Amino acid sequence: MSLRLSSLDPNEPRALKDCRTCNRRRIRCDRSLPTCKKCALKELSCPGYGLRIQFGQGVASRGKLTGKTLPVLEPAPPPPPAVYPKDSPKSATPGESSDSRDDGLDASQLLAGSEPIAVPHKLRNAFQPSFDETTLHNPFALNLDLSSYALPQYLQGRPVRQLIHYYDHVVATVMPWVDGPENPWRTLMLPLAMHSPSLLLALLALSAEHYSARSESPWAVNDGFASRNYRDKSLLLLSEDLRAEWTEHASVARHARASGILATILVLCNLEMIRCDSAIWRVHWKAARTITLRWTAPQLATTVLDDTCRFLIQEAFVYDVFGSSTTFEDDEQIPGSVLTEQDAHVFTDWLQLVQEVTCAERQRHRNASPGQAPLDLANMRVLQEKFDYARNRSLEFSKSLDFGTPGLHSDFAVLVDIFHYAGLAYSFQALLDPRDFAPAIETCVSGVITKIAEIQNKEAYQHDLVWPLFVVGTQSRLNKNTQAFADAKLLEVMKSTGFSNCVPALEFLRRFWKSDPNVAVDWMQFARQESRRGLTFLVI
């Protein structure tokens, strides 16, 4: 099926430049918003037209940064011109530029000196939210007094306070395993944002986007500013911080900046996961992986990282474990060894084990030999023992957590069992012959479904169920009942959390359920086939 530009509505606003997928395919893009229809018709992942980070090399051939790899910011094409009624005067779109280059800034440009980035004065009053702050009553919220912090002038004013209030009371709730008074996405990230403009801007963008997704209506704006404007300014400041990070020697100032860098990248990754039509999460995830591998490199083993840095490394590892399990490239993963015993937390052992299983499966696939998986993992009894150990450690750690209410604590024990069964099902599928171990996998899937039904405080734990529900879906090819369960529950999770990133994962499952078992034996083989066609997804 072809799509001609002449068949499109001429009154619809369009991007000013082709999407990068159409550029790469050397075809004419239809420039539809938010993503082009030609990509959709070919079932390709359209990156859209916004800012992105690519991975470039350091100073090409000279200096102490030779060969260093770092995320590199690519400029966004200008936003499409606004559509105005016939009688209204036209005005320039904020942030519009006449620059029509499609090439990105390389690392040498980023590392070269440049003028400080001026953030438009208009950002100060960009948002006029329609929600009533007095209706938000999260007992764990910090309720920071922003007037006590020396924020830049453009980050002062009521709109910023309202968005931070929304993050504090609503968004931060769904970021950790379970909310509580010790939630580091609140207790560490908010104070850090008060000293990192790039992070603060990213949090503002995340809050505005999340509010729009939950309320199904855009956050009211003046002068055309929206979530993307805060995001774009955050990325611009992030590029400055990255430049400094790769050139400065160790110092207290660099330490604080380094935390802000990784925190900003993680928040931007979450921002892109709110929308199901964005593939930029992949860029931010890989940037987080690069930064983490740099911080934890053997030659920097003596570097002392503060509590905030340690927390951010743990979060990057969590993202990498889940992201690696559903992507099938040969990129270097964050090894479980980046977490030491002092970093151990409720799911640390479980995450390290799942990452180990994923690495073993990828290595076995590359070697095309079932016997290449580590002997101690390619054994059902050993896998069960390892997951039992991880489960017991999780339950032991959970005793020290402050959940606020006893009910949340008992539900957390159920959550531990859910991930225990899901991890076993995933590992049996990855490292053992599914035909021989089908009954064991089916038992694990039934365990996940049964335990999900036992959770009493569903709203508090919905955001944790995405990966276990995906695992259930991967084992439901021949079972209409479990297909319906996974489908309905994933939709329920997205409605509850405001994050739509598992829409592509659900669409993948639906295609897998209809696929021919003679063409793709299991979901991993099917996912690899899809990946070669450019169809990727993230399950976090």
What is the per-residue DSSP string for 60-88? SSSSTTTT-EEEEEEPPPPPPPPP--TTS
- What are the φ/ψ torsions at residue 62 (nearest 5 degrees)? -150, 165
84-to-17, 88, 182, 483 alpha-carbon distances in Å: 21, 6, 48, 46
Global pTM reads: 0.75
Question: Which amino acid type is present at position 365?
Answer: H
| Helix orientation angle between 406-431 and 438-454, rounded to the nearest 10 degrees | 160
Q: Which residues pair with 74 in a beta bridge?
A: 52
Positive or negative, the CA dihedral 486, 421, 174, 357 is: negative
Q: What parts of the chain have a pLDDT lower than 50? A: 1-8, 51-129, 221-225, 250-253, 370-371
Positive or negative, the CA dihedral 153, 154, 155, 157 is: positive
Q: How far apart are the first and last CA of the chain?
A: 34
**SS3 assignment, position 127:** strand
- Name the nearest CA neighbour of 422 among 466, 392, 453, 479: 466
In angstroms, the CA 477 to CA 512 distance is: 7
Tokens of 366: 């590359």
Tell me the residue length of the chain. 540
pLDDT score, position 424: 97
Residue appearing with tokens 């569903």 = 458
272-to-29, 123, 175, 228 alpha-carbon distances in Å: 22, 21, 14, 10
pLDDT score, position 60: 38
Task: Determine how many CB atoms are found less than 10 A away from the CB of residue 120.
Answer: 14
Question: Which amino acid type is present at position 534?
Answer: G
Q: How far is CA 251 from the centre of its chain?
A: 29
DSSP element (H, E) containing 159: helix 158-169
Bridging pattern class, strands 52-57 and 69-74? antiparallel
pLDDT score, position 99: 34
- What are the φ/ψ torsions at residue 129 (nearest 5 degrees)? -65, 155
What is the 8-class DSSP label of residue 53?
E
pLDDT score, position 369: 52
121-148 per-residue burial string, b: 16 or more CB within 10 A, e: under 16: eebbbbbebebeeeeeebebbbebebee
Q: Alpha helices, DSSP H only, in 170-251?
A: 184-187, 189-193, 197-215, 227-245
pLDDT score, position 394: 95
Q: What angle do CA 153, 156, 161 make, to 5 degrees?
A: 165
pLDDT score, position 167: 95
Question: Are 322 and 392 a contacting pair, CB within 8 Å?
Answer: no
- Expressed in percent and rounded to 5, the helix, strand and coil fractions of the chain are 55, 5, 40
What is the 8-class DSSP label of residue 462?
G
Label each residue of 345-412 as H, E or C: CCCHHHHHHHHHHHHHHHHHHHHCCHHHCCCCCCCHHHHHHHHHHHHHHHHHHHCCCCCCCHHHHHHH
DSSP element (H, E) containing 269: helix 252-274
Q: If 0-12 CB within 10 Å is exposed, 13-18 middle and 19+ buried, where does residue 453 land? A: exposed
Question: Which amino acid type is present at position 92?
Answer: A
In angstroms, the CA 192 to CA 287 distance is: 20
In angstroms, the CA 26 to CA 113 distance is: 35
